A and B are shown apart, each in its own frame.
Chain A
C-alpha cells in the first residue's frame, strides 16, 4: 500500500485555479461588484433612502439629483431605492435557479461519469431530450399554471438548464476517473464516496463554477425578461425587469429611466459572465502550465541570439558578385538570412545562405531536420509562416530581387516562375474541392482561359504527371486519393504555370518506398520534358545520388558544403557530410552497428558563433572554437565550411 500511495496527486490541480482567478483583475472586480450588490440589496431596508413604494407626486420623473441619486419614476418613487429592493427578488431568482441547477447536475453528472455503464447511457438519453426542449415556453407554461410564482419559473428553468451542466460535469469526471492517483486511492482501499469528495470534486470545481456563473448570467436575463413582461411579479412590487417595462412605456417622454434599470441588469449579467471567463482562463492556464516543460532562462537565449546574428554580419566571406550572369543561372541566392520570432525575440534559423541554380539543373539541399533546409526553400517564394521573415540577403530571379517584392508582386511570380511541392501531399490539397477544380483554378489564374479550355489543360497536366484515368481523378476529392496520386496532383498544380524552377520540399518522404521511386522517376522525366530546374530538399542520400546534379549540405542554418553529386560522394570534405553519408542505412554493412553522428542539431537559439558542428565532430580541434568558420572555395567550384577539411577525405570509413 505504501508503494502505491507514492503516486500522489499532481501538484497543480484543483483549487489553485481560484488563486489564479483571483489574479485576474476583471474577475476580481466582478466578484467584488456582485458581493457589494448582494449586500446592498439584502440590506435595502436599512440603507435605501426611501421605501420602494413611497410615492411623491410632487417630484415625478426627475433626473438624478441630490434628493434622488438616480431620479424618480412616473409616480415620484425613488429609482435607487426601487433598484435595491427590486434586486432582492431578481437575485433571489438567480440563486434559486443556480441552486436547482447544481443540486441536479452535480450528483447526476457525477453518477453518469463515475459509474458509467447503463447509468451513463440513461443520463445521456435524458440530457439529449432536455437539451431540445424549448425551455422558455415550458417556463411560460409553468407560470400559466402557478399564477405569478417567479420561484416556480426559476426552478423550472434551473431543471431544464441542468442538462448542459450534467454533460460538463460528466466529461470532467470521466477525465479525472482514469487518472493514476485516483486509481491508486481506489487500490489502497479508500472508499468511493471519499474518493469523490477528496479527489474528484476539487478537480471538477473549475468547470462547474464556469458553467454556474455563465448560467447565472442567462438566468438573470430570463428573470428580468419575465418581470419585464409582468410575469411572475405583481406590478407595484419593484423588480429590475419591471422597471425597464415601466420606463419603456415612457420612452417618448423621458429616456433616462431606461438607464439605471437596464444598466444594473447589464452590469450584473456582465459580472457573472466575466467571473466565468476568469475562472475558465485560470483553469486552462493551470493545465497548460502543468504540461509545459521547464523553460531555459531567457537571458541566455537573448545573448546567444545576438551573437548569432553577429555571425551573420561577420560572415560575408564568400560573397560573390551580386549578378546572375553566371553561365545559365536561373536563380541566384545571396546571403539569405531568415529569422523566426522566438520566446525571447527573433532567432536566426537560416544564416547567410548563398547558392546558384543553373538552367535544367537538379540541386539537392541535404541535412538533418532543423538545419534550415525547408525554411530556405520556403523563403525563396516568401512562403514563410507569419512568425518568420527574411531579415537579409537577396533572391535574384530573372533580374529581379524577390526579397524586395511586395506580397502582391511575388504572388504573380508564384507558380508561374517558380513553383513548389511539399512533403505531405494528403494535407497539401484543399479537402473541400474536387482536385480537378483546384488545378483548374490555378490554370485559370495563370492562363486566363475559359472554363472548358482550363478543363482540357487540367487533363493534359494530369497526363503529364502520369496519373492513370485523368478524368476520373479530376472528379475526386483529396481524401479519395492515395498519397502517390495526391503528390502527382500537387505536381500538376505546380506545373500549371509552366515554371522554370520547381522547388520540391521532401516530396517523397511521406510516401511508400515503391511510390518514392515513381515520383523521383517522374521528376526526372519532367525535368527532361520541360527543361526546368529543380531544387530538391531531402535528408535522403539515396535521393541525392539518384537525381541531383549538385548538392548543398546544410547544418545549423549554414551551408557547410557544396559540390557536384559525384564529387560529394567520392570525396566528402566536411565532417558533417562524411558523418551523414556514413549513417545512411543503404551503406550499412551487416557486420557492424549502423554508425550515427553523436548528439543532435542544437536549437537555433543556442548555435555558437564558431563552428556549429564542433561538439558532434570527431575532427574537432581547439582552433574550431575560436572564430566563425568561413566558407572556403576549393577546386571544381566546391565550397566547404571547415578549417580541417584536408583531414576529412583520407578518413573516409567505407
Chain B
C-alpha cells in the first residue's frame, strides 16, 4: 500500500515537468509575450529591451525553463506579471475557495448520487427514470448556464441564497455553506447522475451475489443488506466515478466561479488569461495537476480501505 502511494507520487514528477513545460513553451510563443504585455504597445523599444533582459527573456528557452524548475524546487512559482506579487502567495490566498467548492461539490454528488443510485437499484420505478432524465439533463446543460439559472431563480427572484461572494469558513461556517450552496449545485449537477448510475449498476450487480443470499438466509434485515453489505461492496467502482467528478468539477470552477464572482483559482485563471499573466496561469496549471495527483493517491487509499484483498496483499 505504502509503496503504491510513493510510486504514485514519483510518477507525478514527469507529469509536473510536462505541464509546466507545455505552458512554458506556450509562453515563449509571441505575440502576447510577457514583456510586451507589461509594457504595453506604447512602450519604447529601449524600455522593452531592458525589460526583456530584466525578465531573462533573452536567454535560451531551455535555460529559462531550467531556471523555472530550479525556482520551483525552492518553492517559488515566479511573480505575477500584472501585480508583481509572488504567484504562490496569490494562489494560496485563493486555493481555499476552490478547494471548498470542489470538495463540497464532490460530497454533494456522493451523497445525492449514492442515495438516488441505491433507491433506483432497490426500487427502480420513478427514481430510476428520474436518474435517467437527470443524467441527460446533467449532460446537456452546461455548468455556467445552470449557474445563471440558479442565480436567477434562487438569488434574484426568491432571494434565498446570495448571488455572489464568498465567506471564509473561519469567519462563519453557516454563511460559508450558504454562499457556496448554489455554486456547489451548479458544479455538481452533472456529476450526480454519473454517480447515481454507477451506484445503481454496481448495487444491482452485488445484490445478485451469493453472499447476499447467504445473509438473507441468516435472517439479516433488508436494510443492513442494502446499506451495509451491498453498498460497501458496490462502492468500489463508485469511488472511481467520484474521482472523475472531482477532476471535472475542478475544471468547471473556471466557468462557475466567474458566474458567482468567487475569488478562487478558476476565476483567477480567467482573469490572468485576459491579462496575459502567464506565470499565474502556469502556477494554476501546476496547482490543478498536483490536486489531481493527490486525489488519485487518496482514491488508491480508499480502494485499499474498501477492498481487503488490496489492503492485506
Contact = CB atoms under 8 A, between A and B. Distances in A.
A231 B270 CA distance: 8
A138 B219 CA distance: 56
A416 interface: yes
Given A229-B270, A441-B224, A266 B141 contact: yes
A432 B229 contact: yes
Interface residues on A, range: 35 or more
Given A129-B15, A430-B233, A258 B217 contact: no
Interface stretch (A68-76, A220-228, A284-292, A560-568): A220-228
Interface stretch (B170-178, B181-189, B250-258): B250-258
Nearest to A441: B220
Contact of B272 (A144, A217, A266, A381): A144
B251 A416 contact: no
Interface string B31-64: 1100000000000000000000000000000000
B139 A269 contact: yes
Nearest to B289: A134
A610 B278 CA distance: 86
Contacts, number: 216
Interface string A468-500: 000000000101100000000010011011000
A493 B285 contact: no
Contacts of A438: 215
Interface string A220-260: 01001100110100000000010010011001100100100
B274 A133 contact: no
Contacts of A416: 219
Contact of A430 (B31, B156, B229, B288): B229
A251 B156 CA distance: 8
Contacts of A251: 148, 151-152, 156
A488 to B, nearest CB: 14
A135 interface: yes
Interface stretch (A5-13, A406-414, A545-553): A406-414
Nearest to B29: A145
Given A138-B23, A244-B145, A433-B229, A383 B216 contact: yes
Contacts of B284: 137
Main secondary structure of the interface of B (DSSP, over half): helix
A144 B139 contact: no
A599 interface: no
A431 interface: yes
Contacts of A477: 308-309, 312
A494 B22 contact: no
Interface stretch (B72-80, B100-108, B204-212): B204-212
B238 interface: no
Nearest to B142: A221
A419 B217 CA distance: 6
B141 A497 contact: no
B145 A411 contact: no
B18 interface: yes
A424 interface: yes
B180 interface: no
Contacts of A231: 270, 273-274
A136 B255 CA distance: 10
A412 B218 CA distance: 9
A579 B230 CA distance: 43
A241 B209 CA distance: 48
A414 B218 contact: yes
B148 A430 contact: no
Contacts of A381: 217
Interface string B141-170: 111110011011000100000000000000
Given A132-B292, A258-B149, A446-B219, A144 B278 contact: yes
Nearest to A244: B145
Interface string A135-156: 1111011111111000000000
B257 to A, nearest CB: 10
B23 A147 contact: no
Nearest to B269: A140
B140 A269 contact: yes
B7 interface: no
Contacts of B275: 144
A262 B149 contact: yes
A19 B284 CA distance: 47
A411 B219 contact: yes
B281 A140 contact: yes
A101 interface: no
B142 A269 contact: yes
Contacts of B31: 146-147
A225 B141 contact: no
A429 interface: yes
B14 A129 contact: yes
Contacts of B136: 270, 273
Interface in A399-455: 407, 411-416, 419-420, 422, 424, 427-433, 438, 441-442, 445-446
A258 B14 CA distance: 44
Contacts of A134: 19, 250-251, 285, 288-289, 292
B214 A479 contact: no
Given A138-B285, A429-B214, A431-B233, 17 more contacts: A129-B15, A129-B18, A138-B26, A140-B281, A141-B278, A141-B282, A145-B32, A221-B143, A231-B274, A247-B148, A251-B151, A258-B152, A411-B219, A413-B219, A422-B210, A432-B306, A441-B220
Listed from nearest, the 4 A-B pairs whose CB atoms lie closest are A415-B219, A134-B288, A270-B140, A414-B219
29 contacts: A129-B14, A132-B15, A132-B293, A134-B285, A138-B19, A138-B22, A141-B22, A141-B278, A144-B278, A144-B281, A221-B142, A229-B254, A258-B152, A269-B139, A273-B139, A383-B213, A413-B219, A414-B217, A415-B218, A419-B217, A420-B214, A420-B217, A430-B233, A432-B306, A433-B232, A445-B219, A477-B308, A479-B309, A490-B214
